Amino acid sequence: MRKLITAIVLILLFSCSQKSESNYISIGGFTQGTTFNITYENLDSVVYQNEIEILLAEFDTSLSTYNPLSLITKINNNEITTTDYFFRKVFEKAEEVYESSNGSFDITVAPLVNAWGFGFKNKEEITNAKIDSILEFVGFQKIYLKDSSIIKSDPRLMLDVNAIAQGYSVDVIADFLKEQGIQNYLVEIGGEVKTKGYNKKGNEWRIGIDKPIDNNNIPGENLQAIVKLSNKSLATSGNYRKFYERDGIKYSHTIDPKTGYPVTHSLLSATVIANDCMTADAYATAFMVMGLEEAYKLVESLPDIDAIFIYNNDSGDFKLKYTDNMHPITEEIK
C-alpha cells in the first residue's frame, strides 16, 4: 500500500546495528510504497525479518488500492463483495471514526481524491459541476457490511483506506511481536508508530515530529517537537508534503468529503496519540479535515486520545496546541 507520508515521524533512536549485549534487534525494509523500521528486544536474538515481510505482503494483498490484484481493488471494480479479516477490521474502525467526526473521516472519498490527482487514478479536470456529480456517490451511509460481504448502494462508489490502513499495519506487526513474547518494541511504518516498554537504554522511546515546511522531505532535518512514548501509538497527518499549485493556489491532498474540495484552513499537521495506531491514523486525518478549533473540541471529548496540532497564527508563525496530557511528554523545539 502506498501512502505519501504527511508530517512524517522520525524515530530518533533507531539504529541499523544490533546491540548484542542488550539483545535489541533492529530490522527494516520497504512496504506499502514506503519504509518500515522495527526495533525490539529478544533474549534469544531471533530475527523476524522474513515473518514480518510475509505478513506485510499479505496485508498489502488485502488493502492496497495500488495493487491491481488486491481485495480492495476488486471491491472497487465491483468484481467481488466478499471481504477478509483485515478489511473488516479497517471498515469497522472507519465507520466508528466517521460517526464520531461527523463525516470528516470517510473512506468513500476515493473518487474525489482521484479526481484531484492524489489517488490511484488519473487526475480529472475540476469544475463545480464535476465535484457535485462525484458527491452523488460519496458517503459512508451508501455502503455497509452484511456478514462478510460489502454492499454498495451505487456501483460507482470506491474506497480509499490509505488514511487508516497504514496505521493498522503497524498494529498487525505489533500483535505479531506480542505473540512472540516481545515486551519492548517500536514498530514504525511510513511514519506511523506503536511502542511497548522501553528502548535499549531503558528509557521511553523518543519520537520526532517534523516542522511542517512545504517540501520538507528529509525526516528529522527540521523538527518541531519531540515526544516521549511508551505503550502508546502515534500517527501524524499534514498538508506540507503532498500538494500542488495551480494559478497561484495551493491544493492539498486532504479532501473534505462533505464539500469535495481540498481543505484551506490554518492547521498544518495533526499528531494523534492513542492506544492503537489504526485509531491514531484515522483521527489524524479527520482532524486535518476538521481544522484546529473543531479538532481540538473533538479530541477533548475522546477517551484515551491526545493530540498535538501545529498551525499558522495570524502572523504566519508556527504554533503548537496540544491536549493537557501531552505537556509533560512533549519537548518543543524553537
When computed from its CA atoms, the radius of gyration of the chain, rounded to whole angstroms, is 19
Instruction: Pull the grid cell for residue 172.
Output: 498487525
Quick: pLDDT tens for 219-241: 556 789 999 999 999 999 987 66
Please report the pLDDT score of residue 12 as a whole number: 47
Please report the pLDDT score of residue 288 as a whole number: 96
Average pLDDT, the chain: 89
28-33 LR contacts (CB < 8 Å, sep 24+): 29/53, 31/1, 31/56, 31/57, 31/60, 31/169, 31/189, 32/1, 32/2, 32/3, 32/56, 32/60, 32/64, 32/166, 32/169, 32/189, 32/190, 33/1, 33/2, 33/3, 33/4, 33/66, 33/190
| Percent residues over pLDDT 70 in the chain | 87
**Rounded-to-integer distance, Cα 191 and Cα 229, Å:** 14
Please report the pLDDT score of residue 14 as a whole number: 42
Whether the per-residue pLDDT at 246 is higher than 60: the answer is yes
Please report the pLDDT score of residue 58 as a whole number: 97
Quick: pLDDT tens for 81-113: 999 999 999 999 999 999 999 999 999 999 999
Whether the per-residue pLDDT at 317 is higher than 90: the answer is no
Angle at 299 between CA 296 and CA 302, to 5 degrees: 155
Contacts of 208 (CB under 8 A, 6+ apart): 9, 10, 11, 12, 219, 220, 223, 225, 226, 227
For residue 123, how many other CB atoms are within 10 A of its CB?
A: 12
Q: What residue has cell string 499558522?
A: 312
Whether the per-residue pLDDT at 13 is higher than 70: the answer is no
Put simply, whether the predicted model's pTM sits higher than 0.95 gets the answer: no
Mean pLDDT to the nearest integer, 263-282: 96
Please report the pLDDT score of residue 125 as a whole number: 87
Whether the per-residue pLDDT at 20 is higher than 50: the answer is no
**Rounded-to-integer distance, Cα 309 and Cα 108, Å:** 25
| Percent residues over pLDDT 90 in the chain | 76
Mean pLDDT to the nearest integer, 288-297: 97
CATH fold of 59-160 reads T-fold (1.10.3980)
